[in-house]
Structure 1
């Protein structure tokens, strides 16, 4: 297995777990917060989508995925406290956008030369992710950073244990 294959595998695994946790939640349940001080799930999903688009386009400006009008603003940190469900998307809309964005991300990974993984990341990300390879690893693991917040919502809704 080569580096890009390992990154792709991690992305696919993370995506499978995250989507698995969300798969049987309805749109109303996406508006639940695991704790009053946490963001609701809909905001978190949108945050993941916006973050991935921003990271990929930061590395490869010609690979920016276009998001629906107002999507980025709805999922900006300034709107994390908003509980108006009409400002957010349905689970299926989020899943469609996740697929679109991840397809673009995987295409960028596939199309680049392997040596690019060692290139410096965009300057604003270097303290956290020094290289392009680090950026792709962050993209792949970022959903798992949020998956732990989905589990308490699942439990409070009486959903089964999945993993």
Structure 2
């Protein structure tokens, strides 16, 4: 396995788990918060989409996904406490956006020379992820960082244990 293969595998596993947890939820479940002080699931999914678009665009502007008008603002930190479901997307819409964004990320990964993984990450991310390779790994594992927050909503809804 080569480095790009390992990154792709990380992305695929993370997607499988995250989408698995979301797969049998209803749109109304997306407005539920896993606990006090936590962001609701709709905001979290939108945050993942925005974050991936911004991280990828900072490294590979040709692979940026255009988001719906206002999407980034709705899923920004200033709107995390919003309880107005009409501002947020349906589960199907979020999954469609996630698919488009991830396709662009995988296309950028496929197109890049592996030596590019050692290049410095965008300046604003270097303290956390010094290289392009670190950024691609973060993109791959970011959904897993949020996946556990879906579990309490699943349990309260009586959904089956998946993993």
TM-score by length of 1: 0.99
1:79-125 C-alpha deviation (Å, 9 max, x unpaired):
00001000000000000000000000000000010000000000100
**Residue 4 of structure 1 pairs with residue 4 of structure 2:** yes
CA shift at 1:60, angstroms? 1.0
1:40-74 C-alpha deviation (Å, 9 max, x unpaired):
00000000000000000000122211001111111
User: Unmatched 5+ residue regions in structure 2?
Assistant: none
The residue number in structure 1 matching 2:71 is 71
Give the SS at the match of 2:86.
helix
* Matches of 1:52 and 1:129, distance apart in 2: 14
* Matches of 2:162 and 2:55, distance apart in 1: 30
TM-score by length of 2: 0.99
* Matches of 1:40 and 1:51, distance apart in 2: 16
**Residue 130 of structure 1 pairs with residue 130 of structure 2:** yes
**Residue 145 of structure 1 pairs with residue 145 of structure 2:** yes
Q: How does 1:98-137 map to 2 (within 5 A)?
A: 98-137=98-137
* Matches of 1:132 and 1:33, distance apart in 2: 33
The residue number in structure 1 matching 2:92 is 92
The 4+ residue runs of structure 1 with deviation greater than 4 A are: none
* Matches of 1:81 and 1:149, distance apart in 2: 16
The residue number in structure 2 matching 1:37 is 37
CA shift at 1:36, angstroms? 2.1
* Matches of 1:19 and 1:145, distance apart in 2: 13
User: Unmatched 5+ residue regions in structure 1?
Assistant: none
